[in-house]
Amino acid sequence: MDTNVQIKPPVEVEYEGELRAIRANDKAKKPLNWQMSPQAVKTFILGSKNPIVFEGKEYHIQKKYLGNDALVERCIVTLAGNRGLMLVGEPGTAKTMLSELLSAGISGVSTNTIQGTAGTTEDMIKYSWNYALLLAKGPAREALVPSPLYIGMEKGIITRFEEITRTPAEIQDSLISVLSDKVLNVPELREEGFLFARQGFNVIGTANTRDKGVNEMSSALKRRFNFETVFPIREAALEKQIIINEVNKLAKESSIEKTADEDIAELLASTYHELREGISSMGHQIDRPSAVMSTAEAVSVYYQTMLTGYYYGDGTLSTDCLVQNLLGAVAKESREDIEKIKGYFNTVIRDKGNKEGGIWMKYYEARKWIK
Please report the pLDDT score of residue 215 as a whole number: 75
Whether 371 shows a pLDDT value over 90: the answer reads no
Mean pLDDT of 299-327: 93
pTM, whole model, 2 decimals? Answer: 0.90
C-alpha span between 362 and 325 (Å, rounded): 15
Please report the pLDDT score of residue 1 as a whole number: 47
273-287 per-position pLDDT tens digit: 999 999 998 889 999
C-alpha span between 71 and 73 (Å, rounded): 5
185-222 per-position pLDDT tens digit: 998 887 778 999 999 999 999 999 877 656 788 999 99
> Would you place residue 92 in the very low, low, confident or very high pLDDT band (cuts 50, 70, 90)?
confident
Please report the pLDDT score of residue 3 as a whole number: 58
Query: Taking Cα atoms as reference points, which of 326, 207, 217, 203 lies closest to residue 264?
Result: 326
Q: Percent of the chain beyond pLDDT 70?
A: 98
Whether 182 shows a pLDDT value over 90: the answer reads yes
